[in-house]
Chains A and B, each alone.
Chain A
Amino acid sequence: DGGITQSPKYLFRKEGQNVTLSCEQNLNHDAMYWYRQDPGQGLRLIYYSQIVNDFQKGDIAEGYSVSREKKESFPLTVTSAQKNPTAFYLCASSIQGRGDTQYFGPGTRLTVL
């Protein structure tokens, strides 16, 4: 099956801990994205990557970090510097970026205890 997967589905973190959210795609897409969604809100872009070993900050990058060492993978680390990390995190990919249709993973719900 081709698609985009995220793990884990639910994640609990204690304050002060870093956590890493996984995102993998086998669609052979060049571009990948991370969004944050708060209850009743739209999507806000955290980071995006158009090519391996390159990524750009989105609107709310503070307290987050990413890497893009492989085309298939775009993990997101939520650091202790993120003051309000409890949210629903969505990963997406597209063929090349630049307004292409985006394909989303099922999301990870992060809760800080």
Chain B
Amino acid sequence: SQQGEEDPQALSIQEGENATMNCSYKTSINNLQWYRQNSGRGLVHLILIRSNEREKHSGRLRVTLDTSKKSSSLLITASRAADTASYFCATDAIGTGANNLFFGTGTRLTVIP
């Protein structure tokens, strides 16, 4: 399967702390994206990082990409209770012949007020 895997599966932190979640994937990629899903809702796109980029920032989000290790990390700084959600990575895999993204299994983040 091309599906990525997030680590950890679940993460619980205090408000104000930083949250880091990781994504590993199996094949070469064109880009990697992170999405957020609140319970019972659709996914919302957070950030896209291309294979030739190593780091990208958006507000309190910082994403890194290491193509040699086939891994990415998402850092949320100064977390808030409203950040409580599941976070998914999705890859645009090269050479699969598919025209879709491959989603990981998600990290469930709980931010305790």
Q: Which of A's residues lie within 8 Å of B, judged by CB? A: 31, 33, 35, 40-43, 45, 48, 50, 56, 58, 88, 90, 92, 97-99, 101-107, 109
Contacts and interface: CB of A to CB of B under 8 A. Distances in A.
B42 A101 contact: no
B80 to A, nearest CB: 22
A92 B108 CA distance: 21
B42 A43 contact: no
B101 A99 contact: yes
A104 B44 contact: yes
Chain B facing A: main interface SS: strand
Contact of B92 (A43, A98, A109): A98
Interface in B1-45: 3, 30-31, 33, 35, 40-45
Contacts of B40: 88, 107, 109
B99 A102 contact: no
Contact of B104 (A42, A92, A104): A42
A105 B30 CA distance: 25
A104 B42 contact: yes
A43 B100 CA distance: 12
Contact of A105 (B31, B42, B45, B48): B42
